[in-house]
Amino acid sequence: MSDPDRSKTRLEGHAFWVVSPSHGEIHSTTLREPAPGEVLVEALRSGISRGTESLVFRGRVPASQWQAMRCPFQEGDFPGPVKYGYASVGRVAAGPAHLLGRRVFCLHPHQDRYIVPVDAVTPVPDAVPDARAVLAANMETAINGLWDASPRLGDRIAVVGAGVVGGLVAALAARVPGASVELIDTHPARADLAARLGCRFAQPADASPDADLVIHASGHPEGLTTALRIAGFEATVLEMSWYGDRPVSVPLGEAFHAKRLNLRSSQVGSVATSQRARWTCQRRLALALDLLADPVFDHFLTGESRFEHLPHTLPRLVEYPGAELCHVIDYH
């Protein structure tokens, strides 16, 4: 049962807005009381999805994708002012009795208090700490990517790009029996992450050739070039990067046809075709949270700062994209 007195005293919230390209501000917002079938969530942590949020922050979402790239509970429109984000962990302060006081994950922008429908939140398992739970949206993307890639027992798998999504994909791929996974990145410091995830590490020039499956998640066209170069005969190259409005030159000459490569795309907005008949997005998100019970994923949490500092934090992360993996926002 809801606590009406408590909910009435917590009707002001604060949210981060991209007010113009490369400029963000925190604005206050007045919240109505939650209606039946809704919950009031008080944020504990949120995570910055650097790839997509960097493009949004810089105003680089192409006009053709403005509708497709809208996130749940987004306010405003691209290029701005817009309230964007999708990795919030909070505690239910008002709502149905079975959720009251529970920690939940919600695909919601960076905001300290918000009201959403009950079916928009997913309980966080007790074994998953608040900060690690913000990885759920990225883990969903990794799950969908593996479903699209369809790795097989014993495959030689290469993952190009050791960011959050690439690292999570590599971690999941390394759990396929008999699979050998090489995580490829231009930053030598990512070798430690690869080792902790059970993968080999290589820089692009030293990447092993003839991979059975290559997954590209670096966000850079040069990474896709590497992916095509190291793919073996009739291998699949799965493209998980999104480039916003940047044109991308892809080397489809050279050995692309001779090796009969299969170049596929993957995007989390729809459940992978192989699973779509039986899986919902909510079931997929619950799986992502369950997988995050493994403490190994704490190695993706490389920075933390206060919510009120976000207008200064996000420009720094955009300017130095290789400095961190997942940066966590603290609302305490």
Read off the pLDDT of residues 75-113 as tens digits, 9 standing for 90 and up: 999 999 999 999 999 999 999 999 999 999 999 999 999
Percentage of the chain with pLDDT > 90?
A: 86
Digit-coded pLDDT (tens) for 128-154: 999 999 999 999 999 999 999 999 999
Proportion of the chain above pLDDT 70, given as a percent: 97
User: What is the model's pLDDT at position 9?
Assistant: 53
How confident is residue 61, by pLDDT bands cut at 50, 70 and 90?
very high
Please check the confidence at residue 305 and state whether its pLDDT lies above 80: yes
- Assign 1 a pLDDT band (cuts: 50, 70, 90): very low
d(CA 122, CA 289): 9
pLDDT the model gives residue 4 = 47
pTM of the full predicted structure? 0.92
CA angle 282, 288, 293 (to 5 degrees): 135
Q: pLDDT-based confidence at 52, cuts 50/70/90?
A: confident
pLDDT of residue 245: 77
Name the burial class of residue 37, with classes exposed (0-12), middle (13-18) and buried (19+) by CB atoms within 10 angstroms of its CB. Answer: exposed
**What mean pLDDT comes out for the span 158-163?**
97
| DSSP type of residue 111 | B
Mean pLDDT of the 242-248 span: 82
- Ordered alpha helix ranges (H), 58-118: none
Q: Which helix (H) or strand (E) holds 173?
A: helix 164-173
Contact 146, 175 (CB under 8 A): no
The model's pLDDT over 201-232, given as tens digits with 9 standing for 90+, comes to 999 999 999 999 999 999 999 999 999 999 99
Other residues' Cβ atoms within 10 Å of the Cβ of residue 174 = 18
**Across the beta sheet with 12-20, what order do the strands follow?**
23-30, 12-20, 82-83, 75-76
**pLDDT tens digits, one per residue of 262-303:** 999 999 989 999 999 999 999 999 999 999 999 999 999 999
CB atoms within 10 A of CB 139: 27
Average pLDDT over residues 17-32: 96
Q: Quick one: pLDDT at residue 96?
A: 97
